Amino acid sequence: MPAAPADRVFIFDTTLRDGEQSPGASMNTAEKLEIARQLVRLGVDVIEAGFPISSPGDFESVRRIAGEVGDAATVCALSRAVPADIERAAEALEGAKRPRIHTGIGVSESHLRDKLKISRDEALERGVAAVKLARSFVEDVEFYAEDAGRAEPEFLYRMIEAAIAAGATVVNIPDTTGYAYPEVFGELIGGLMENVRGIEDVTVSVHCHNDLGMATANSLAGVKAGARQIECTINGLGERAGNTAMEEVVMALKMRPDVFGVTSGINTREFVRASRLVSSITGILVQPNKAIVGANAFAHSSGIHQDGVLKQRSTYEIIDPEEVGAGGSSIVLTARSGRAALRHRLAELGYVMEDDEFEHIHQAFLDLADKKKEVYDEDLEALVGEAERMIGEVFHLEQVHVSCGEPGIPTATVELIDRDGESFIDSSHGNGPVDAVYNAINRIVREPNDLTEFSVQSITRGIDAVGEVTIRIKSEDGRTFTGRGAHPDIVVSSAKAYVNALNRLLVAAERPQLPAEV
């Protein structure tokens, strides 16, 4: 691959190699192929398909991906600066139309002294030999200077210059341990651009880890300083705290051309799809507040934010959700939501109401929201239904209290308020809490009837779901009346449903012309 133009950044995806090194994220060949196809849809420039010498499975994955991708992307295989590694990588890449071998060696004092136990000169010799051997197999060779973020700059310059002279086409400057921070990492890349002969003829790449939460910022600092390839993963997967997240750096470049002045070839509308696929295959969930692809990335809960977004999306969203394949913004109804968000969602559900009626619904919404983390559409429909059922009530259920258990006698106390505002309180016992409640209500209403049907169902999801109770009662003259009630407490739902049915019965007694079932 030739050096990148000044206004173009190549995207090198290492989800299938470094991303797979996330604990628990191992993938089989079929799964890697599925992700590789999605990476092609994204339009990545380079797919690092694996580390062929590490296992037969990794070798096969690189071989299969190399044969399938064709001209759509460069297929890259990792190796250490070890002849057997490089030869195995070349073998796996034989079917690739655009093959790249990625080889290199540690350059920090820690790696030289503690891991490799070699001198700087020995490291330089091994690095040059690795590049030359790789170049004998493929035209495109990327050299990585492992732990460059902690390396002594002058030695790093020597190593990179030697790698370029040996035939490297891409030089990778990794912050392997996530130790750098943007100003320092940017200065490191800038120093390379100024002090390494031949640097203008190759592509400078950055590979940043997220141990201090700065992988994205460091990668962008590298771009500002002249790097033109970013190595990244979907969802930021990778060793320890992970790698630079592709969706974050690409959208930063796209949203801030005034700052970076470069573009990528990524189809950003595939990001959410890619994120969900990788999460599904690896079993590693995406945190809800993850930038760009998290479930809450375009969700608004605060009433102030909801009001602003409803008036003009850009007040609180700098990215159009459709640009990353997220569909649209989400107004999450919670206790913090304001009137504007509630009225907007009710209107979307088809409920247009006068101010007085809305205020009643709003108060009921707040009461419910205090009991639940989130209020769903089904909850709103139940609230509207409850409000409609209260119109023309003969009796209104004001409160209900129950006591039950084993051993013990289920007892209930209820308070009903009639249409004149008079309060009635009574208690009773029964076979269970609902039976006790119904007996207490009967002591107040004193309208003979038979309970013929009782059913309960959850109308929303979760442990705090609203339960809706539907009952039917039959009056002494044989007419059937249906009652419904909804509330997070099933006993309260049952009481509401019974009072609703009794109200219908009482109204019908005042208007005998009503049909047989109401």
| In-domain check, residue 294 | no
Give 466's contacts (C-beta < 8 A, 6+ positions apart).
368, 372, 378, 379, 382, 458, 459, 460, 486, 487, 488, 493
| In-domain check, residue 517 | no
Identify the pLDDT of residue 4: 59
Most confident listed range (236-250, 448-462, 464-478): 236-250
Identify the pLDDT of residue 411: 96
Residue 219 has pLDDT above 80, yes or no: yes
Enter the DSSP assignment of 285.
Answer: P
Residue 392 has pLDDT above 70, yes or no: no
In this prediction, residue 513 has a pLDDT band, given cuts at 50, 70 and 90, of very low
Element (H, E) at 146: strand 140-146
Q: Which amino acid is at 261?
A: G
Query: Both 375 and 252 in a single domain?
Result: no
Summarize the confidence of residues 16-25 as an average pLDDT.
85
Query: Both 251 and 305 in a single domain?
Result: no
Q: Which residue has the tokens 């609203």?
A: 466
Q: Which residue has the tokens 């690896």?
A: 282
Of 12 and 299, more confident: 12
Lowest mean pLDDT among 238-247, 355-364, 413-422: 355-364
What CATH number is associated with residue 35? 3.20.20.70
| In-domain check, residue 219 | yes
Summarize the confidence of residues 354-371 as an average pLDDT.
83
What the block records as the tokens of 295 is 């479930």
Summarize the confidence of residues 136-165 as an average pLDDT.
97
Residue 514 has pLDDT above 50, yes or no: no
Summarize the confidence of residues 127-140 as an average pLDDT.
98
Summarize the confidence of residues 202-229 as an average pLDDT.
98
Identify the pLDDT of residue 231: 98
Identify the pLDDT of residue 12: 98
Q: What is the pTM of this model?
A: 0.72
DSSP lists the bridge partners of residue 474 as 450, 480
Give the domain extent around 136. Answer: 10-260+269-282
Give the integer Cα–Cα distance in Å for 224 and 222. 5
Give the integer Cα–Cα distance in Å for 397 and 400. 8
| In-domain check, residue 290 | no
Residue 285 has pLDDT above 80, yes or no: yes
- Number of independent structural domains in the chain: 3
Query: Both 43 and 167 in a single domain?
Result: yes
User: How much of the chain, in percent, has pLDDT values that exceed 90?
Assistant: 62
Identify the pLDDT of residue 250: 98
Summarised one tens digit per residue, pLDDT across range 100-111 is: 999 999 999 999
Residue 146: φ, ψ to 5°: -60, 140
DSSP lists the bridge partners of residue 144 as 104, 172
Query: Both 46 and 177 in a single domain?
Result: yes
Task: Give CA separation, 375 vs 51, 307, 331, in Å.
Answer: 48, 17, 11
Residue 452 has pLDDT above 80, yes or no: yes
Q: State which of 249, 282, 315 marks the end of a domain.
A: 282
Give the integer Cα–Cα distance in Å for 281 and 35. 9
Residue 155: φ, ψ to 5°: -70, -40
Query: Both 143 and 196 in a single domain?
Result: yes
| In-domain check, residue 21 | yes
Query: Both 359 and 378 in a single domain?
Result: yes
Give the integer Cα–Cα distance in Å for 91 and 101. 11
In this prediction, residue 515 has a pLDDT band, given cuts at 50, 70 and 90, of very low
Give the integer Cα–Cα distance in Å for 343 and 163. 64
| In-domain check, residue 43 | yes
What the block records as the tokens of 229 is 């390839």
What the block records as the tokens of 330 is 């989400």
Query: Both 380 and 401 in a single domain?
Result: no
Element (H, E) at 452: strand 449-458
Summarize the confidence of residues 60-67 as an average pLDDT.
96
Q: State which of 385, 410, 429 marks the end of a domain.
A: 385
Summarize the confidence of residues 390-406 as an average pLDDT.
86
Of 458 and 502, more confident: 502
What CATH number is associated with residue 444? 3.30.160.270
| In-domain check, residue 516 | no
| In-domain check, residue 288 | no
Torsion of CA 440, 441, 442, 443, to 10 degrees: 50
Query: Both 117 and 185 in a single domain?
Result: yes
Residue 518 has pLDDT above 80, yes or no: no
Identify the pLDDT of residue 325: 87
Query: Both 202 and 88 in a single domain?
Result: yes
Summarised one tens digit per residue, pLDDT across range 480-509 is: 887 888 888 899 999 998 998 898 888 777
End-to-end Cα distance, the chain: 76
Summarize the confidence of residues 325-347 as an average pLDDT.
77
Query: Both 275 and 348 in a single domain?
Result: no
Give the integer Cα–Cα distance in Å for 65 and 47. 9
Give the integer Cα–Cα distance in Å for 57 and 306. 49
Of 297 and 14, more confident: 14
The answer to whether 187 and 194 have CB atoms below 8 angstroms apart is no
Residue 269 has pLDDT above 70, yes or no: yes
Residue 132 has pLDDT above 70, yes or no: yes
Identify the pLDDT of residue 307: 65
In this prediction, residue 235 has a pLDDT band, given cuts at 50, 70 and 90, of very high
Q: State which of 351, 385, 419 marks the end of a domain.
A: 385
Query: Both 206 and 100 in a single domain?
Result: yes
Query: Both 81 and 165 in a single domain?
Result: yes
Of 280 and 316, more confident: 280
- Mean pLDDT, the chain, whole residue set: 89
Q: How many CB atoms lie within 10 A of CB 359?
A: 12
Identify the pLDDT of residue 388: 62
Residue 328 has pLDDT above 80, yes or no: no
Residue 490: φ, ψ to 5°: -65, -35
